[in-house]
Each structure stands twice: as structure tokens, then as C-alpha cells.
Structure 1
Amino acid sequence: MVFDRWFGSFTEVIAAVGTAAVLIYLGYAINRRRKKLQDLFYVLGPDSTLMAEHLEELVQRGVIRPYREPAAV
């Protein structure tokens, strides 16, 4: 029987199922946290990202200067 070749006892089955459940949960939790961080920090869409890259290039070439906060008086 195939089951007997894979698992020697009932406890091995429980351990394998438990391990699989933990791995599935960890994958779900990591994906959920990654999505939450993306929603929080990735506020620019594809068009805005392209525009920001172009502005960075203009700053590096010296065409424009980056914005600096005015000194407090």
C-alpha cells in the first residue's frame, strides 16, 4: 500500500499534516504583510513612477535642483 511506504505511523501523518499547515500559514502571513507594506509605501502608480525617474535624471544632469526646505528664521 502506498500509505505504508510514505508514513510508518499515525504520528508521522499528523506531523506531516501539521508541518504542511504551518508552512501554508507562514506563506499566507508573509504574503499578507508584504501586500500591506506595498499598499502603505508604494503610493506612486506606474505613470507617477516614470515621472519621478525622469525628474531624478534631470536632477542628476543638473538641469533642475532638488527641493530643499527653507532655513528656519
Structure 2
Amino acid sequence: MTEDGVDPIEWQHSYGAALAAQQVAARDGALRPARDEIDAFVANWTDVTAPADPAEARAPGELQAQASRIELSLSGV
């Protein structure tokens, strides 16, 4: 998020990283405990392009909280 809204480049970069994590978790059985949390994280990106209205994007704090849940689910791996 910027003062002007959602940065489209950062949106796509972060979405790509989230999708890559999802693919790795789907292939690696050791990451099974994190799959649901990663899927929930990816669901935060509702489209491949950034929303024109910043209110349509998740708040950064919500994304950070979901990332923390992923870390917690992986703490025993």
C-alpha cells in the first residue's frame, strides 16, 4: 500500500511469491501442516492485478498476521 493506493508491481510480486509457496507446500509432504494456512494466505489476492480501490485489498496487518500463522504452523517441521 502507498499513499496513492495499491502498488501494482508489489501486488504482483507478492502474489507470485505466495503462489510459489503454495506450489512448494503442495509438493512437499513435510509442509503438510502449513497447507491450509498457505491456501488462506493466497486467497487474500483476489485477482492478478491490484485493485483500483485500496479498500478492496487486505490491510497489511492482516497479511502479516496470516504470514505469522504460516510460520507458527511450520514451527514443528
Fold-level similarity (TM above 0.5): no
TM-score normalized by the length of structure 2: 0.27
Structure index of larger Rg: 1
TM-score normalized by the length of structure 1: 0.28
**Does 1 or 2 have the higher relative contact order (CA < 8 Å, sep 6+)?**
2
Bigger fraction of residues in helix: 1
